[in-house]
Amino acid sequence: MLITGGAGFIGSRLAIALAARHRVHVFDNFAAQAHPAPATTRIALARAGVRVITGDMRDPAALGAAMADTRPDVILHLAAETGTGQSFSQPAHYVQVNVLGTAHLAEVVRRHAPGLPRLVLASTRAVYGEGACIDESGRRAQAVPRRSDDLALGRFGLQGRDGQPLAAVPTDADWPVAPASIYAATKLMQEHLLRQAFWGSATQVGILRLQNVYGPGQSLDNPYTGVLSIFCRQILEGRNLAIFEDGQITRDFVMIDDVVRAFVMMAETPVMPQQTLDIGSGQGITLLDVARRLLLCLGASRDRLRVTGAYRPGDIRHAVADISRATAQLGWTPRVPLDAGLMALARWSGRQLRHPAARASA
Ligand SMILES: NC(=O)c1ccc[n+]([C@@H]2O[C@H](COP(=O)([O-])OP(=O)(O)OC[C@H]3O[C@@H](n4cnc5c(N)ncnc54)[C@H](O)[C@@H]3O)[C@@H](O)[C@H]2O)c1
């Protein structure tokens, strides 16, 4: 098996889990922003018997050599730039890594691994933009993107085309896509590229749209990704948490162990689901509530936060997955309750920040 981005937060855990039963290769360029301690990750992967190929998705020769060398039966494509906010200031870079990198992957598979049975993409719920909503009479409706002048006036709620207030409901893959950031647009393009490139071929393409993944191993140093890791660091450094908008932004936090299990099932199941699947906890929680729970886990006062009213372009208001298709087609359901996952994250973060020399991204 070959895992692109297999040195990252999700990829490294996935590689280690799969290495117990398979020959696993990782292709990763150890992008500096995601890897404050690359040596620690390399050691953890090597100990698990994972072979690491250092290379860049933007370099088709390196990717082709890795493909010819490893001849994988399954590719799990996780390599990506992942910062929503950062993507607005670096659109060309995000397109090069996420879109061009995926196009290179499709080309080298055709050239060096024709007949590859299975390719799985780590996509994101960000492709939905605001996602599924209902109006006051319970009818399904699409929210329009929130406008900066509304947000500046503290009007954070969702509205339909005619200005009617909307409420978010769990989103599934039948809901129309409407990416609201450059990052989301590049992830959607990854989906389209892989579906088109392997349409009608022997290669089956599986797509998992992940909600907010969290847990031990998520970088405490990368300011562009992983809100709960960022909160952990701020709490442990004695800072107060700044909660955006009115604190009522909702996210669906899914624990890393559950996400790794979903990818393992996609890699190993005899018949892989062909339809796009949503992977989340299926439960929404406000950022205010989750911040308070994290403060509790870390033994800090629940008052150490401030709801700022600040907002960021591209942030969507509510995200909750409808995971019924993943359950029906893959047999997957999340197992880790949020409080248990938060406690695991809090303990791990505490250890990392007390012993920075042992800082591990794996
Ligand atoms: N973590 C989440 O909450 C989340 C949510 C939705 C989707 N995803 C998707 O899951 C995948 C993995 O995310 P993650 O959270 O593990 O992120 P991560 O940043 O920890 O891992 C991404 C990996 O890709 C590698 N990479 C980046 N640019 C590369 C390049 N040019 N060539 C080769 N490798 C490169 C990085 O070095 C890193 O190891 C991504 O595709 C992301 O879009 C993650």
Q: Which atom of ligand 1 is nearest to the CA of 212?
A: 3
CATH number of 2-358: 3.40.50.720
- Helix, strand or coil, per DSSP, at residue 117: coil
Ligand 1 centroid, distance to 34 Cα (angstroms): 8
Ligand 1 pocket, mutate which of 9, 90, 260, 276 (most atoms under 8 A from CB) = 9
Q: Are 287 and 326 in contact (CB under 8 A)?
A: no
Report pLDDT for 37.
Answer: 86
Distances (CA, A) of 278 to 84, 136, 158, 291, 331: 19, 26, 22, 24, 13
Q: Give, for ligand 1, the residue of 41, 50, 78, 93 to mutate: max count of ligand atoms closer than 8 Å to Cβ.
A: 78
- pLDDT at position 107 is 98
Q: How far is CA 312 from the centre of its chain?
A: 19
Looking up tokens 């973060």 gives 349
Instruction: Report the separation in Å between the CA atom of 79 and the middle of ligand 1, taken as the mean of its atom positions.
Output: 5
Residue 182 Cα to ligand 1 middle (Å): 15
How confident is the model at residue 361, as a pLDDT? 43
Contact 165, 76 (CB under 8 A): no
Q: Which of 128, 183, 214, 311 is catalytic?
A: 183
CB 70 within 8 A of CB 2: yes
Residues with CB under 6 A from ligand 1: 5, 7-11, 28-31, 34-35, 56-58, 78-82, 97, 101, 122, 124, 187, 210, 212-213
Contact 274, 204 (CB under 8 A): yes
Report which ligand 1 atom has the smallest distance to the Cα of 79.
24
pLDDT of residue 359: 53
Element holding 214 (H helix, E strand): strand 212-214
| Residue 362: predicted pLDDT | 40
pLDDT for residue 96: 98
With CA atoms as reference, report the closest residue to 132 among 309, 278, 247: 278
Which among 63, 82, 93, 194 is the best mutation to test ligand 1's pocket, defined by most ligand atoms within 8 Å of the CB?
82
Each of the 362 residues of the chain gets a pLDDT tens digit; together they read 999 999 999 999 999 999 999 999 999 999 999 998 899 999 999 999 999 999 999 999 999 999 999 999 999 999 999 998 899 999 999 999 999 999 999 999 999 999 999 999 999 999 999 999 999 999 999 999 899 899 999 999 999 999 999 999 999 999 999 999 999 999 999 999 999 999 999 999 999 999 999 999 998 888 777 999 999 999 999 999 999 999 999 999 999 999 999 999 999 999 999 999 999 999 999 999 999 999 999 999 989 999 999 998 778 999 999 999 999 999 999 999 999 999 999 999 999 887 755 554 44
In the chain, domain spans: 2-358
Please tell me the total number of residues recorded for the chain in this structure: 362
* 183 catalytic per annotation: yes
Cβ 153 vs Cβ 245: under 8 Å:
no
CA-closest candidate to residue 220, choices 231, 209, 207: 231
Distance 155 CA to ligand 1 centre (A): 33
